[in-house]
Structures are given as structure tokens and as C-alpha cells.
Chains A and B, each alone.
Chain A
Amino acid sequence: MTTMPSYTSTTNACKLCKPLGASLAFRGIEGTVPFLHGSQGCATYMRRYIISHFNEPIDIASSSLGEKHAIYGGAANLKLGLRNVTGKYAPQLIGVATTCLTETIGDDVRRIIAEYEAEFHRGPDQPRIVSVSTPSYGGTHMEGFHAAVQAVVEQLTQPVAAHAGVNLLPGFVSAADLRYLKDLLTDFGLPCTLLPDYSETLDGEAASDYPLLPAGGTPLTAIGAMGGARITIECGATLPDKSAGTSLQRLYGTPLCRLGLPIGIRETDRLMAKLAELSGRAVPERHRAARGRLVDAMVDGHKYLSGKRAVVFGEEDLVVGLTAFLAEIGVKPVLCASGGKSGRFREAVAAVLAGLPVALPEVVEDVDFFDIEDKARGLAVDLLVGHSKGYTFARKEGLPLVRVGFPIHDRMGGQRLLHLGYHGAQALFDTVVNTLIAKKQDDSAVGYTYM
């Protein structure tokens, strides 16, 4: 597969920058303040972007570097910032991610943090500090997300006795997805450490006080013990060779099982099978029944979907999962596109489509919306499936857009969209089929009140 973009300029990117992914991952750890070492704008822009999706506060601190720091180094400001965050937020953990600026001026963040800790007597009342290298020019928000999870695992775990827990590294999914996964493992009776877990920190309850450190998140004690887990399940079909899962394997010998995101029937079946094996239990009744209802609904609705042609875009892992799901319900994915460039995208799409009566769609990585529109031309597309930044394209072409993933900036409740498991597939199914039914009804000359 070619990884060279067709054009030099980028128009309407289909990816975000690395520190944003790291900030989201850090936000999923209990009592953590994400901290960007760079100029103030990075933190503010990312807060704004994240707020517009979650409608939740997210305080991302910054070392607020100015011109003199760009010349002489940002160490003093990083230390001052860490001290101020500690004083004001009293966090358990500060997650420091670098930016273009600090990577390029060559700040040695780990050394600066070590100096800081020596100076301020690292102790029980002081937060732990984790750092991750996330220059925006070296990957997308997904690389930033995975790098932050890996940094957390590498820097906060220690050797512990083996225990019955399961590590679940879900990747970048919605708050509703995270809640679903926790319930699922509980239903199987499996104790689980879900990392990260921003299901509450980024989808919290109404409060009377400003949540300095919102409730929820993966507890640090649980993270510390991840090395002793019986297995790590890591979701994502295009994960890099080295990840949090492989780090645990390397450092502590924790067995690793990599699965795709459990989207659609077959990918969910794989996860259920694994959990059944680990727990020694059959698939719990709630989920067995959900699968049955899903299949029943798929039968009821299949004629409204048959042969419809979809463009799927967004993060590679999400697109792979959605493509599998769409093919299962009879929609033809004709173009799978992502701004990411793992080099594994096409192979992963081909793998999830194996055995389904559908042709391999065009799969393109490292593309922007200019490329996506370009490639979609002539494909007789009926439907777009992806995040809300596809709206520009959808509106121009008069195509319906099924909103999934991140960001969803033009609708409420992006954090509550469920994509995973049979339950998620049911929700997706209803949305997709109703979107197409509504389109046909709205476009009809006569209007009708039965399908």
C-alpha cells in the first residue's frame, strides 16, 4: 500500500495531534492532571476541542513557555508548573506530555522531572509524575494515546505477586463503551483493570462544586499491579509492535492477547469467547440475549441496507471495526479512510472481512478529507460513517452521515454513543438503518407512513 499522500498540502485533516491523545489517556487515570510541556495555546486548543465533544470540563495544565524559554529551555517553567498544579489540584498523578516546541528545543523532560522530584522530596503527599514524548509531527492522536498508556504502564507498574485480574486496554473508545466493558467483565465475574477509564472523568454527574479532580479513572494502585495480571487484552487491529501490552509482557511476562475492537457480531464473538475461556463461564445471559435480539433486528432490517454503499473514516482501529460491522449487516463498505498511517490498515480491513460476501473496499491511510472526497467520487456512495468533521463532505454531497467516534462537535452525547459489543452493534444498527430509511422517506415524492 502506498503511504505517500497524493498532495503536498493537507486540506481538512482526518486526524488530530499527538498530545491530544495523550491528554485524553491521562484523563482516564484517577486523580490525574494532564500537563502539556509547551506553549499555552496547545493546552487551550485541545481543551476546547475536547470540551466541544464531551461537554465536560477538562483542565489541561501547561508550562506556558514563552520566547525566552524556547531559547534557554523550559525546565524552570516545567518545574514551576508542576509545583503549581500540585498545590492547586493536589493530584495523585501528573501526566506530562511534550509538544513540538519542547521536543525540538531538546528539553530532557525525564531529567527535569527527576531533578524536580529530588528537589521536592518525592513522598506520599507528592503526586507521581509520568512523562511521554508526543511531538505533533511524529504521528496522530492515536499514537499519542497509545504512547501515554504505554508510558503509564512502564513508569507506574512494579513487580507484584500474580493475581486473578485481567488487564483490559480498550484503546480510544467512548465513555459509554468503557462503561459497557466494565459491566461486561463484571458479568463474566472477571476482576479487571481498565486502562484508561475516562467513563466518569469525562462524562460526570452534575455537581455542586467544580470537580478539581473528577471522580473515576483507573486507580493508581490497580495500575501498579498490572504486571501480576493473568492476561492483558489489548484492543486494536492496527496497534504498533510496541505498546502497553507488549511492555507488560516484556517486563513481567504478563500474557498478551490482542483483539480488534469488539464492533459487530464476529469481532464481539471473539472477545466473548476469550472472556468465556478466561472465566470458565458461558456468555452471560444478558449478552447472549442481546446477540439474539441483534440478529433478529438484522433480519428485520436487512432489505433496507442491502447493497448500500458506505464510506467509513476516522481512526484506523475504529474504521476496521465499523467496516466489519457494516459488511455483516449487508452494507458495502466501498472506501475505508484514515489520517493515521500504521501501515497495517489494509491488512486489518481484509482480515475482518474474510469470509463475508463482500469485495475488499479501497483502503487508504494518511489521507485528509480532500483525498477522501476525491476517492469517493464515482463510488456511488449512499452513506458516510465517521466523526462529525465529515459533515462538510456530507453536506456538499447531500449524503447522510452516521456520527460515530470522536469528535462529535455538532450533536449532543458523543460520549454516550455505544459502539462496542452486541449492545453497541444494536445501537449502531438502529442508527444506520433508520438513517437510510429516513433518507428514502424524506426524498420520496409522496411521503408515506409505513416503511
Chain B
Amino acid sequence: MQTASVLQGRENQIHRKGATPFAIDCNKDSLAGAVSQRACVFCGSRVVLYPIADAVHLVHGPIGCAVYTWDIRGALSSGPELHRLSFSTDLQELDVIFGGEKKLHAALIELIDRHHPKAAFVYSTCIVGLIGDDLEAVCRTVTAEKGIPVLPVMSEGFKGNKREGYQAACRAMARLVGTGDTAGISRHSINILGDFNLAGEIWLIRDYFRRMGVEVVANITGDGRVDDIRRAHGASLNVVQCSGATMDLATMMQQEYGIPSVRVSYFGVEDMAEALYTVAAFFADPEMMERARAIVREELEHLLPELQRYKAVLQGKKAAIYVGGAFKAFSLVKAFRLIGMEVVMVGSQTGTAEDYQELQQITDEGTIIVDDSNPLELSAFLQEKEVDVFVGGVKERPIAYKLGVAFCDHNHERKEMLAGFAGMLNFAREVHDSVMSPVWQFVPRRCKEQ
């Protein structure tokens, strides 16, 4: 076996629980040459804003940035689908020399006239940051000309990692918040932040809240609408999932409008139930709490016997997790436990010190915790820990498959609903169907074992 030694400069981004007192480096620039699984600032902004379905999303830059993010998320819309089109200014050499502002202006006018969006987001890319186009000025001009908000997203790829991209997206959305009419919004109202309606998940979550008697003002951003975001400041509470991506917006709204926020996750039974209870507790309404309990009871009655069947088969199998944001990892650790599985490795692209602290608290002894990993480390961990199933995104999938390890897609483009109570069952089924497939008997890893 070719051993994947850890690169100098990355040793402190890997921790084995129990071996030493907990310490991990994170939130660092990726090491050159390490083949990080991370993307860039632009990617962070693009994924957060992507699901806003009635806005034009114009990538101001060369064609690559736009074309690699065309229809990249399985973020569903109940109405318009402008978000599924890939718009670009496709900058050419002459634009780079003479500046792209005129082209950007013309492109915006053209697209707004063609599609009549409720707003336009203009994403800055590396090259735009270098040639110094004044995005603010162009957006201001077009806002005046067309009468819709045209918002610059300062997402130059080189200005950090995905995390900075989330912030840039939140800053752009913050300019929308507060510009709409809040009349008629219930006291028992929330905004859902950090669910992107992959495979229709936000519809499920909204339905739980509806049954509790809670009004959802704005989806931020799954199945998102510009006008809803404009009146989001009328809600009483921000319910934030995927805190890395949208917590900044919640913080801005707290400062500007005094709206408090709570952090939740909709993945796994425990976290899903906890999310409903947290919201009910916030409104301090005993009836609402009772309704939340009733929902959980009702859902679990159906779910637990089904899960039991999967647990019987999966008991004792080993899982590895590598995801973008750490919040998903917390829930996945618990979800695996619920179906009798043991998490032996967990990592994320952009976790914070607090995230990793929490991870090491909820994981078992010996679990590998890793920040900003790469294919060589990940494949070495999969082999060392004899993992049965790996959970991750598109870039992790071939690592697992090449080594003959089962895989569960927990990525942007997945078509399976994994959130909510129903999602937990899908998750268990997907893990089961991959782990128990007959194909593994033929892969070299298993053949050698025999």
C-alpha cells in the first residue's frame, strides 16, 4: 500500500480522539498542492443564494465559474425556476484589458428585460476583483433604471474560502431585508435560514411548523423568493440551520431589527424533534409545544419500527463522514448511532474550533476528526478504519467507490430527501442499500479478505 503520509503543515488539522488532549487547527487557508476538497469564495456565495428562484443570478466573469455551477443544486422551487439557468458575462480577453463594466451593464439590462426577475444578484469572480470593475456602481445604475434590487455579491474566489463566500451572500441578502411590508405577519412567525430545499426538504419542514401553528415568513433560501426576504424582518425568530452559511445574516438581523435566532438541524430524529421543541419553547406557548410533541409522536410511531429493520442489519457497521459544513456532521453522528452504526472518522471543509470541539464531545474514542482534508488522507482513513460506508459529496464518492466502500450522497445535487423524519428513513434506506449491495463481494478489498 502506498501510505498517505500527512503533509507538513497539516498535522495539526487531524485529531484522534483520546490520544492527546483535544486540539485542532482550522479555518486556515488550504495548503498549496494538498488537493483540498474545498472550493472558493464564489462557491460559498453561489450555493447560498442559488435557490432564490425568482432572481437572476449573473456571474460576472469568465465562463468556467458560471458553467460549473449550472443546475448544480437539487434546490427545488414551487414556482419560478430562474435559478436553474446559468447566466454569465463570459468575459473575454478584451474585456479583461478594457474592463467589463459596459458588458455587465448590457447583460443585466438584457436579462432583466427578458426574464422580469424580482431582483438580480451579480457575482464577482477572481478576474473582476483584479481588473477592478465597480460592481456597486453598475448595480446602482441598473437598480435605478429597472426599479428592482440589483445586488453585488463580492465573491472574488481568491479572497478566502467558502466561509467568506457565505458572508458575502449574507451581506447581499441583508440589503433586501427590511425593504418589504411586514403587515399581517403573525406573532408566531419565523424565518427558516439554512435549508436549501434539496429534494423538497423545506416543504416538509414548513409543514411541521404549519402543524405547530407557526407562520414561516421567508425561506432563506430554499424555494426562496425575493419579496419574502424583503419582509423577513417581520418575523419573530430566525431558525438557523447550516449555521456556517446563514448565521451571519441572522446576526445582522439581530443587530438591525432585534430578531433573536436559534440554531437547529433537521437531520436525524433527535435533532429534528429538538428543532420543533426549540421553536415551541421560544414562543412559550404550551399548546404549541403540545402540538410539536404530537407531531414527533405521530412521526416516530411510523418511523421507529421501520428504522428498527434497518438497524438490525446495519448494527456495528462503521461509517465515515466528510461534509462541507460541520453542522451536518453533528446530526449524522447521531443519525448513524440511531441505526446502530459507529462513526470512526468525521471531518469538514470549513468547520470552526467550536464545531470540532462539539464533534469530539459526541464521538467515540479513537474517532479521527479532520479539517480541510484531501483524497489521500481520506482514502488512508477509510482503509485504516475499515469503513463500511462513507458519507460525503460528489468529490468524495469516487474515493469510496474506487476502494470498494459503500457511499451515501449528502451533497448539493442529491435527489433524495434526507431532512425531517421522513428523511431519516430515506437516509437509513440509502445507507442500507449501499452497504448491503451484492457488488462489494467482487471488489478487490473484499476478495483479499476471503
A7 at the interface (CB under 8 A from B): yes
Q: Is the CB of A13 within 8 A of B398?
A: no
Q: How far is the CA of A87 from the CA of B106 in the complex (A)?
A: 48
Point out the residues of chain B lying under 8 angstroms from A46, CB to CB: 64, 68
Interface size in chain A (residues, C-beta < 8 A): 74
Point out the residues of chain A lying under 8 angstroms from B192, CB to CB: none
Give min CB distance, B322 to chain A, whole Å: 14
Which residues of B in the span 105-147 have a Cβ within 8 Å of any Cβ on A? 106-108, 110-111, 125-127, 129-131
Instruction: Specify which of B2, B29, B93 is in contact with A66 (CB 8 Å cutoff).
Output: B29
Hey, what's the 0/1 contact readout for A166-210 against B, CB within 8 Å counting as 1?
A: 000000000000000000000000000000000000001011111
Which residues of B in the span 393-410 have a Cβ within 8 Å of any Cβ on A? 394-395, 397-399, 401-404
Q: Given A13-B66, A15-B63, A70-B129, verify A40-B402 contact (CB < 8 Å).
A: no
Closest to A140 in B: B63
Closest to A47 in B: B395
B1 at the interface (CB under 8 A from A): yes
A215 at the interface (CB under 8 A from B): no
Give min CB distance, A337 to chain B, whole Å: 16
Q: Is the CB of A62 within 8 A of B32?
A: yes
Q: How far is the CA of A12 from the CA of B70 in the complex (A)?
A: 7
Q: Given A44-B40, A62-B35, A210-B403, verify A137-B375 contact (CB < 8 Å).
A: no
Q: Is the CB of B64 within 8 A of A210?
A: no
Closest to A12 in B: B86
Closest to B68 in A: A45
Point out the residues of chain B lying under 8 angstroms from A206, CB to CB: 402, 404, 442-444
Which residues of B in the span 313-360 have a Cβ within 8 Å of any Cβ on A? none
A41 at the interface (CB under 8 A from B): yes
A247 at the interface (CB under 8 A from B): no
B103 at the interface (CB under 8 A from A): yes
Q: Given A57-B398, A70-B129, A212-B376, verify A9-B64 contact (CB < 8 Å).
A: no
Query: How many residues of B sit at the interface, in one of the four size bands?
Result: 35 or more
B159 at the interface (CB under 8 A from A): yes
Q: How far is the CA of A140 from the CA of B95 in the complex (A)?
A: 16
Give min CB distance, A172 to chain B, whole Å: 16
Q: How far is the CA of A206 from the CA of B110 in the complex (A)?
A: 49
Hey, what's the 0/1 contact readout for B243-270 against A, CB within 8 Å counting as 1?
A: 0000000000000000000000000000
Closest to A14 in B: B67
Q: Is the CB of A17 within 8 A of B63?
A: yes
Q: Is the CB of A208 within 8 A of B445?
A: yes
Closest to A87 in B: B7
- Residue of A7, A17, A43 with most partner-chain B CB within 10 A: A17
Closest to A60 in B: B35
B36 at the interface (CB under 8 A from A): yes
Point out the residues of chain B lying under 8 angstroms from A208, CB to CB: 1, 403-404, 444-445, 448
Point out the residues of chain B lying under 8 angstroms from A43, CB to CB: 35
Q: How far is the CA of A207 from the CA of B1 in the complex (A)?
A: 11
A77 at the interface (CB under 8 A from B): yes
Q: Given A11-B87, A39-B40, A39-B157, verify A209-B95 contact (CB < 8 Å).
A: no
Instruction: Specify which of A45, A51, A99, A207 is in contact with B43 (CB 8 Å cutoff).
Output: A45
A20 at the interface (CB under 8 A from B): yes
Which residues of A in the span 29-46 have a Cβ within 8 Å of any Cβ on B? 35, 38-46
Q: Is the CB of A81 within 8 A of B40?
A: no
Hey, what's the 0/1 contact readout for B23-40 against A, CB within 8 Å counting as 1?
A: 000000111111111111
Closest to A16 in B: B67
Given contacts A55-B397, A80-B33, 19 further A-B contacts (CB under 8 A): A8-B103, A9-B58, A10-B66, A10-B90, A13-B66, A16-B63, A41-B65, A62-B30, A64-B29, A66-B159, A78-B32, A100-B127, A101-B130, A206-B404, A206-B444, A210-B383, A211-B402, A389-B70, A392-B84
24 pairs, A vs B, C-beta closer than 8 Å: A7-B110, A8-B103, A9-B110, A11-B111, A17-B67, A44-B395, A55-B397, A64-B34, A64-B36, A70-B126, A70-B158, A84-B34, A87-B7, A99-B126, A101-B127, A104-B126, A135-B96, A137-B62, A204-B402, A206-B404, A206-B442, A209-B2, A210-B375, A389-B70
